Amino acid sequence: MDWAPVYAHPLEQAHIDGKFPYAGINRWGGRLEATARVLFGVGQTALIDVPLEDGDKLPFWGGLKIVHLPGHTLGHCGFYSARQNLLFSGDLFASYFFKVHLPPPILNSAPELMPASLEKVRQLNPRYMVPQHFDVLDGLLHRRRFDRLLLKLAMRRKRRSAPIV
């Protein structure tokens, strides 16, 4: 049987193999993943045929630039179309109805890397964004929601760093 080639960042191999060393709160995510592998028979592993690195270009959809956005996982990537000024942001954030949020902590392998990835997207400044989890296909709406998320996170950081009087 012929298989499709596997495209992924090299740091995803441990996730593909089901052997990522989860720690802290995301151990629960690892337990859920292990349970799903048993329940749904997803036990096969695969080697990465085409390793993706930040800045690489894929020939799909008129050319997609790899944007390495670690946080959800160490090798998490988005895909940017310069021609469309559109970022497929993957699991960087979720955008549903009136709620926009980061993935839950139990599902993030490297949450300490999330702020730098958010800043990287802010600087890339795509006109349109399509996250992995969303309610309607509207790239402008998701971009506005992303900006609202950045503002909410900045306000939260500001409150935490404010001196206690």
9 close to 68: Cβ distance less than 8 angstroms: yes
pLDDT score of 165? 64
β-strand pairing of 86-96 with 128-134: parallel
Enumerate the H helices of 41-138 as residue ranges: 114-124
pLDDT score of 1? 56
Q: Please give the angle made by the CA atoms of 92, 98 and 102, to the nearest 5 degrees.
A: 20
Q: What is the pLDDT along the chain (165 residues), one digit of tens a residue?
A: 578 899 999 999 998 888 899 888 889 888 888 888 888 877 678 899 999 999 999 999 999 999 999 999 999 999 999 999 999 999 999 999 878 999 988 889 999 999 999 999 999 999 999 999 999 999 999 999 999 999 999 999 888 887 776
- Selection from 101, 86, 80, 63 nearest residue 140 by Cα: 86
Task: Tell me the domains of the chain and their CATH numbers.
Answer: 53-161 (3.60.15.10)
